[in-house]
Amino acid sequence: MRALRLTAWGEPPTQTEVEQPVPHGAEVLVRVEATGLCHSDLHVIDAPPGALPYRLPFTLGHEVAGRTLALGPDADGVAVGDRVVLYGPWGCGACDRCAAGRDNYCDRRDTLAWHGAGLGRDGGMAECVLVPSARHLVPIGDLPADQAAPLSDAGLTSYHAVAGLRHALEEGTTTVVIGVGGLGHLAVQILRATTPSRVLAVDVREEALALADRSGADFGTLVRADTADVLRKRSGGTGADAVLDFVGTTQTLELAAGILRPGGELAVVGSGGGRLTVSKPGVLPPGFRLSLPFWGTHPELAEVVALAQSGAIHVETEQFPLSAAPEAIGRLRRGRVRGRAVLVP
C-alpha cells in the first residue's frame, strides 16, 4: 500500500510502498477514508534530530477516519465494516490514565517513543492504518470522512482546551481565540456551541478572520500595534476572561497575558516555541492561571463527534489526494489553507 513516511530528520516525507499490515492480538486494521494535515505535522517534519523521541521511519497522519477492514483474534467491541475515527494519543495502555481513556496524560508518556498515531507510530497518511486496540476507536456512523478525521485532533484538542476553561465562561464573559486555522476555527464553534461567552478572534490573515466570522465569532481583528487596546475595549474594558492561544509564539503569549482580566485563564495550545516569564510579583494579571492542554480524552472525542453529528460544528476542509501531500504541506506552510487540509488516499 502507499504511505507518506518520514524517513530522515530534516528531510521532507516520502511517498513509498509498504506492506499492508496484518492485525495480530487485539489490533484492528482500518482502511483510511481521510486524514487531516495538522500544523504539528510541520513541526515534526521540521524537527532537528534528537528533538522528538520518535524512531524513524514511520507513516505520518494523526487525524484519521475510515472503516475497519480486519480484526486481530482478540479485538473486542468492534466489527469489520464499522466506520470510525481514531483516538490518536496512544499511551502505554496500562496506567490509570490510559484505563480511564486519558491516554493524552498517560503516566508513562515521558518513557514512550511516540505521542500517538502518526507521531512516532505508523499513522493514517496511507491506505490503511494498524490500530493497537479497539479502545482507540470511536464510531462515526455516516459522518463524512473529511468531517470526522479533523475531529480527532483539531476538534478534540480545541474541545479539551475549552473544557478546561468552561468554569470561567459564564454569561457576559469574553474569550479571545488567537490563530483561526484548523484548530482555531473549531474552537470558535465549540465556544459558541457549549458556552455563552462572547468570542473575539485574532489572526495575521484576513482570510482567517473571514473564517472566524463564518464560524460564529462576534468580532475579529488582525494583529497590529493596537490589538491589545482593541481587544480590551471589545471585552467591555475589563480584559478577557480567557484566551486560547493556538500559535504559542512569544508575541502571542505576550499579547494574551496583556489582555487578560484579573483572574483570567490562558490556555496555550500552539507549539510556536515562545516563552512567557512567570514571576511574583510581576507583570501578569493577579489570579492569572495558565494551562498547557495536550490533545484530549477518549470520552471527549465521542462528545465532539456527537456535536458534529448534531450539526453544531462543521469543519471547513480542503481535500487533496494523498499523492498531492507535498502540495498540501506547502500550502499549509504558506498559510494558504482554509480550515483544515484533508488527504484522501
The minimum distance between CB 172 and ligand NAD, in angstroms, equals 26
Q: Is the Cβ of residue 29 or residue 219 nearer to ligand NAD in the bound state? A: 219
Sheet architecture: strand order including 198-203: 219-222, 198-203, 174-178, 240-245, 260-268, 289-291
The minimum distance between CB 227 and ligand NAD, in angstroms, equals 9
What residue 182 binds from Zn ion, ligand NAD, none (CB within 5 to 8 A, per partner kind)? ligand NAD
Identify how many contiguous H helices and E strands the chain contains and give both numbers: 10, 18
Dihedral of alpha carbons 250, 256, 262, 263, sign: negative
Q: Is the Cβ of residue 83 or residue 115 nearer to ligand NAD in the bound state? A: 115
What residue 120 binds from ligand NAD, Zn ion, none (CB within 5 to 8 A, per partner kind)? none
What residue 159 binds from ligand NAD, Zn ion, none (CB within 5 to 8 A, per partner kind)? none
Grid cell at residue 325 = 501531500
DSSP lists the bridge partners of residue 21 as none
- Region of residue 311 (phi > 0: left; psi between -120 and 50: alpha; otherwise: beta): left
Q: Is the Cβ of residue 78 or residue 259 nearer to ligand NAD in the bound state? A: 259
Q: Is the Cβ of residue 5 or residue 39 nearer to Zn ion in the bound state? A: 39
Contact residues for ligand NAD, defined by CB under 6 A: 38-40, 43, 153, 157, 178-184, 202-205, 208, 223, 246-249, 251-252, 269-272, 293-295, 332, 335
What residue 95 binds from Zn ion, ligand NAD, none (CB within 5 to 8 A, per partner kind)? Zn ion
CA-based nearest residue to 184, from 216, 144, 149: 216
Query: Could you tell me if 221 and 231 are in contact, meaning their C-beta atoms sit under 8 angstroms apart?
Result: yes
Contact residues for Zn ion, defined by CB under 5 A: 38, 40, 91-92, 95, 98, 106, 108, 153
Q: Is the Cβ of residue 128 or residue 231 nearer to ligand NAD in the bound state? A: 231
